[in-house]
Amino acid sequence: MGASGDLAKKKIYPTLWTIFRDDLIPRKTVFVGYARSALSVADLFAGITPYIRLDSEDERQLFEDFQRQNVYVQGSYDQAADFARLAATVADLEGGSGSGSGGEGRANRLFYLALPPTVFAPVTKLIKEQVMTDRGWNRVIIEKPFGRDAASSAALSAHLSGLFREEEMYRIDHYLGKEMVQNLMILRFGNRIFGPIWNRENVACVQVTFKEPFGTQGRGGYFDTFGIIRDVMQNHLLQILSLVAMEKPVTPNAEDIRDEKVKVLKCMKELKLEDVVLGQYIGNPKGKTEDSQLGYTDDPTVPAGSVTPTFALAKCSISNERWDGVPFFLRCGKALNERKAEIRIQFRDVAGDIFAGQCQRNELVIRVQPGEAVYVKFMTKEPGMTFRLEETELDLTYTNRYKEAILPDAYERLIMDVFSGSQMHFVRTDELREAWRVFTPLLHEIEEKKVVPLPYYYGSRGPRQADDFCVANGYKFTGTYQWKKPTTAAGAGGNS
């Protein structure tokens, strides 16, 4: 649904192609695109192919096979007759599948809703009434936004729950498909060393950061009605927070994990205006690109005088025995100095210091992107004839340690999860409700008071007040740590 749209073109079709290419789904799977535009499959693919890389003649051949597995149906999003026509097309396509190896008469249907939220309701209703199968499973993938506050999200959830069972619904948060986000479970619960220090006695603060080096780039229309808190913080960053902070699940199964995530969210206080720093980028006169010289409100798709934040820092509090008093800083912004998503766990100072204040705080950093890595910043003796201290790191950099590994794209993993019926990395209804409970009062307050965000230059680290706020709330930054990029293995040991 929404086959002609941007998300479908740039993400979903390329992902479907990848999983088809890699033989991860049955070759007889048929992909039925549905949208309002009058398109042929060839037209549809003319839009998709620029986002697809074909590396060999074999791949080009296979891509043609993939195209042949595609069908396009044009129709409205609110007319039962159009959905009946879609259902008839799908039933026709399934005609041959009953006698195959897939089992007598069995045919599963996976619906992907890559649609604007305005048509979620009628489309899901018509899918339920006209297109669901009783010859196999039905699964529905839903893309954000899942509402814009607690009330609208609850209304959407009530609507969906009236149509589908929880196990049929897959709410996508693509950050849950990222390698290092998935790795959190193993790092935390598969190692003895982290468990005993993962608490308020040892952790000073936690920072979850998302930075992008570009602005809204013509997407200002959508962005302006949501803002960075709804776009990134309330979903991607909060999902990461809950995986970092939750208790150990009883099993690594979807329901047990999601139970723990909900529990920790329930311990979170609702955010208030004094817990946040908001920013909006302005043009940087020294910017090297034309884009960077323009501010958010210079984007013609953004309403003049908009006070929508493009940067936000929030201090979240978790009132439970493990985390009471430990600030969890969620930071996100557009048009910043770099692309980066990371989790930084900063430990408390060493008690009873005997090194005249030379020890810097230990940090465990889990870099989600770019360049997956886990590193622990810690103190060591400066090598040689000295007894000075030095900051160094234990470093697991994926490109060094896992040279051959191919890390699939988040969408690829998540869509495969849906095919195989695993809901571990999808957002459950009660989880979403809790996420909105934490953010709704703040969002309403920002909007009612028309809070003016702090300006920051395109390409900077965001408003200086955000750093000051972290420091005032317990984060320490010394700027003394220097990372020396490792050379090759031979180079590292070659100083005889």
**Sites of contact with ligand NDP (CB under 6 A):** 209, 344, 365, 371, 373, 375, 393, 395, 397, 461, 467, 477, 481, 483
Tokens of 223: 């962005």
Which of ligand BG6, ligand NDP, none sits in contact with 390, Cβ below 5 to 8 A by type? none
For residues 291 and 458, is the Cβ–Cβ distance under 8 A?
A: yes
**HSE of 426, CA atoms in CB hemisphere, 13 A:** 26
Q: Which CB atom, from 297 or from 392, has the smaller least distance to ligand NDP?
A: 392
Q: Which CB atom, from 393 or from 417, has the smaller least distance to ligand NDP?
A: 393
Q: Which CB atom, from 174 or from 367, has the smaller least distance to ligand BG6?
A: 174
- Shortest Cβ 309–ligand NDP spacing (Å): 17
User: Which residues contact ligand BG6 by CB under 6 A?
Assistant: 174, 212, 231-232, 341
**CB-closest chain residue to ligand NDP:** 483
Cα distance between residue 320 and residue 72, in whole Å: 52
Cα distance between residue 157 and residue 432, in whole Å: 9
- Shortest Cβ 476–ligand NDP spacing (Å): 9
DSSP state letters, 386-454: ---EEEEEEEEEHHHHTTT-----HHHHHHHHHHHT--TTB--HHHHHHHHHHHHHHHHHHHHHTPPPE
| 3-state SS, residue 16 | helix
Instruction: List the beta bridge partners of residue 232.
Output: none
Which of ligand NDP, ligand BG6, none sits in contact with 231, Cβ below 5 to 8 A by type? ligand BG6
- Shortest Cβ 297–ligand BG6 spacing (Å): 18
Which of ligand NDP, ligand BG6, none sits in contact with 365, Cβ below 5 to 8 A by type? ligand NDP
Instruction: List the beta bridge partners of residue 347.
Output: 203
Which of ligand NDP, ligand BG6, none sits in contact with 212, Cβ below 5 to 8 A by type? ligand BG6
Instruction: List the beta bridge partners of residue 329.
Output: 207, 315
Tokens of 333: 């912004």
Q: Which CB atom, from 143 or from 393, has the smaller least distance to ligand BG6?
A: 143
Which of ligand BG6, ligand NDP, none sits in contact with 373, Cβ below 5 to 8 A by type? ligand NDP
- Shortest Cβ 239–ligand BG6 spacing (Å): 11
- Shortest Cβ 474–ligand NDP spacing (Å): 13
Tokens of 459: 């390409």
Cα distance between residue 127 and residue 82, in whole Å: 11
Which of ligand NDP, ligand BG6, none sits in contact with 371, Cβ below 5 to 8 A by type? ligand NDP
Q: Which CB atom, from 148 or from 377, has the smaller least distance to ligand BG6?
A: 148
- Shortest Cβ 291–ligand BG6 spacing (Å): 15
For residues 431 and 262, is the Cβ–Cβ distance under 8 A?
A: yes
Which of ligand BG6, ligand NDP, none sits in contact with 90, Cβ below 5 to 8 A by type? none
- Active site residues per annotation: 236
Residue given tokens 């886990």 in the structure block: 374
Which of ligand BG6, ligand NDP, none sits in contact with 477, Cβ below 5 to 8 A by type? ligand NDP
The angle at the Cα of 11, spanning 9 to 14, to the nearest 5 degrees, equals: 80
Residue given tokens 């479970």 in the structure block: 185
**CB-closest chain residue to ligand BG6:** 231
For residues 236 and 255, is the Cβ–Cβ distance under 8 A?
A: no
Q: Is the peptide bond before 453 cis (omega within 30 degrees of 0)?
A: no
Residue given tokens 């090598």 in the structure block: 383
Q: Which CB atom, from 225 or from 358, has the smaller least distance to ligand NDP?
A: 358
Q: Which CB atom, from 397 or from 422, has the smaller least distance to ligand NDP?
A: 397
Angle, to 10 degrees, between the axis of helix 238-245 and the axis of helix 429-449? 130
- Shortest Cβ 285–ligand BG6 spacing (Å): 25
Q: Which amino acid is at 383?
A: P
Tokens of 115: 């649609």
- Shortest Cβ 372–ligand BG6 spacing (Å): 13
Q: Which CB atom, from 139 or from 331, has the smaller least distance to ligand NDP?
A: 331
